[in-house]
């Protein structure tokens, strides 16, 4: 039987690639729900092509535009964030692919878990903000969470078949972003146009900026902690400019398993949607002869301190990762709007982590309040 997919964030980078995967495998998957935040034109175009049961536009002001574009269509149309959280409970959904950007993916993912849906997780912020809560819910509701990020997919693939063999350490690889090897004097003057030119991956604006600051790798480290039940000292970041080794696992006997391949997000998307099967593809194949050298370096924590802040948040735990994430989202948005410089993003995050009250064992309501408070404080630090 075909797996019926709900894609939360279908107009973003992951969402559009997921639709390509589904289009290439019509005997395996079908689209049941599509949602978007603001891009009503693309959402309508996707709906006309894939004919889902339901579409949701988060921006309620765009509801009339969407209904007009889908006039005379049997597709149900809803609007608002509450509708996204409700729609994931539909009985006709098998897998929820959470590809929404940032904190916005948290509540719909929790709703989907409570409804017993399998989760294909592309929204790392869900586990960054509320990893302990989400994993407890997934255990209680017997829900599988399959990672879509290439690094976490790599770790997951390395663990298949290992049963109860204990992990000694994982290695999360990072390309180093567009500013690898640059110093602070250079970084103080970079523009958003510079930062949006990632050397290996095609991603949305927010995650591309996070990659440039190394925050993305910090968020991935926190996500990995909860996905794989690790301690912070079991996670190591390795800069690997070619992005061929997507990550690796070291076991207690000293052996290391790594997952390799060309940098293409469609492969981890397909693996998450198709698991436990590997679906045959015509994707380009990696050749060792095209990559006679693979390089590995230690991350530059002096010039890219966001990675250190992320590990600090992971060590402190509680609501600190939530503070880190909220402050980072505000900072990245401000940088993309030319309101702050590249290095000022770190200042905003660090000040927020120092200012917002620490909660050691937060409930979900505490995290929601922390997110609101942090965003307000971070915004106050932006002077332009």
**C-alpha span between 242 and 56 (Å, rounded):** 38
Give me the mean pLDDT over the 30-56 stretch.
96
- The average confidence (pLDDT) of the chain is 95
**Is 163 in the same domain as 90?**
no
Indicate the pairing of strand 95-98 with strand 3-8.
parallel
**Is 121 in the same domain as 64?**
yes
Enclosing domain of residue 216: 153-264+296-302
pLDDT at 204: 77
Give me the mean pLDDT over the 342-365 stretch.
97
**C-alpha span between 9 and 39 (Å, rounded):** 10
pLDDT at 201: 60
Q: Give the model's confidence band at 66: pLDDT under 50 very low, under 70 low, under 90 confident, else very high.
A: very high
**Is 118 in the same domain as 224?**
no
**Is 110 in the same domain as 157?**
no
Tell me, what CATH number does 381's domain have? 1.10.1740.10
**Is 142 in the same domain as 40?**
yes
Inside any domain, residue 11: yes
Q: Is the pLDDT of residue 298 over 90?
A: yes
Give me the mean pLDDT over the 333-348 stretch.
95
pLDDT at 231: 95
pLDDT at 207: 87
Q: Give the model's confidence band at 308: pLDDT under 50 very low, under 70 low, under 90 confident, else very high.
A: very high
Q: Is the pLDDT of residue 202 over 70?
A: no
Q: Is the pLDDT of residue 34 over 90?
A: yes
Q: Is the pLDDT of residue 206 over 70?
A: yes
Contact call for residues 172 and 220 (beta carbons, < 8 A):
yes
Give me the mean pLDDT over the 64-69 stretch.
96
| Range of weakest confidence among 146-150, 176-180, 268-272, 334-338 | 176-180
Residue range 219-266, pLDDT digits in tens: 999 999 999 999 999 999 999 999 999 999 999 999 999 999 999 999
Share of the chain above pLDDT 70, in %: 98
**Is 346 in the same domain as 260?**
no
Q: Is 254 left (phi over 0), alpha (psi -120 to 50) or beta?
A: left
Question: Per-residue DSSP letters for 39-70?
Answer: -HHHHHHHHHHH--SEEEESSGGGHHHHHHHT
Contact call for residues 264 and 205 (beta carbons, < 8 A):
no
**Is 143 in the same domain as 16?**
yes
Give me the mean pLDDT over the 137-147 stretch.
97
DSSP-assigned letter for residue 223: H
Comparing CA positions, the residue from 176, 212, 175, 217 lying closest to residue 192 is 212
């Amino acid at each position: 039987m075909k797996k019926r997919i709900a894609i939360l964030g279908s107009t973003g980078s992951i969402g559009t690639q997921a639709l390509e995967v589904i289009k290439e495998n019509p005997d395996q998957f079908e689209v049941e729900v599509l949602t978007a935040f603001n891009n009503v034109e693309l959402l309508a175009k996707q709906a006309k092509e894939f004919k889902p049961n339901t579409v949701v536009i988060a921006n309620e002001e765009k509801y009339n535009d969407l209904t007009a574009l889908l006039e005379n269509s049997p597709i149900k149309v809803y609007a608002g964030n509450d509708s996204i959280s409700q729609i994931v409970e539909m009985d006709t959904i098998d897998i929820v692919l959470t590809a929404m950007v940032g904190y916005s993916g948290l509540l719909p993912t929790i709703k989907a878990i409570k409804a017993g849906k399998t989760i294909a997780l592309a929204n790392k912020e869900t586990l960054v903000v509320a990893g302990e809560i989400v994993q407890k819910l997934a255990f209680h509701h017997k829900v599988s969470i399959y990672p879509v990020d290439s690094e976490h997919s790599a770790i997951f693939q390395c663990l298949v078949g290992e049963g109860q063999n204990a992990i000694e350490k994982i290695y999360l690889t990072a390309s180093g972003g567009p500013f690898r090897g640059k110093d602070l004097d250079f970084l103080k003057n970079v523009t958003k146009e510079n930062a949006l030119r990632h050397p290996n991956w095609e991603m949305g604006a927010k995650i591309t900026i996070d990659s440039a600051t190394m925050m993305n790798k910090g968020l991935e480290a926190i996500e990995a902690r909860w996905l794989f039940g690790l301690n912070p000292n079991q996670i190591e970041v390795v800069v690997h400019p070619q992005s061929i080794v997507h990550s690796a696992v070291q076991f207690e006997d000293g052996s290391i398993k790594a997952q390799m391949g060309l940098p293409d997000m469609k492969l981890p998307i397909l693996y998450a949607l198709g698991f436990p099967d590997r679906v045959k593809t015509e994707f380009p194949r990696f050749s060792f002869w095209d990559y006679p050298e693979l390089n590995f370096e230690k991350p530059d924590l002096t010039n890219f301190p966001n990675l250190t802040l992320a590990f600090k948040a992971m060590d402190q735990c509680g609501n600190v990762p939530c503070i880190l994430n909220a402050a980072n989202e505000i900072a990245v948005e401000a940088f993309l709007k030319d309101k702050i410089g590249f290095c000022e993003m770190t200042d905003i995050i660090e000040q927020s982590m120092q200012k917002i009250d620490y909660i050691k064992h937060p409930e979900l309501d505490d995290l929601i309040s922390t997110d609101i408070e942090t965003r307000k404080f971070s915004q106050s630090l932006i002077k332009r």
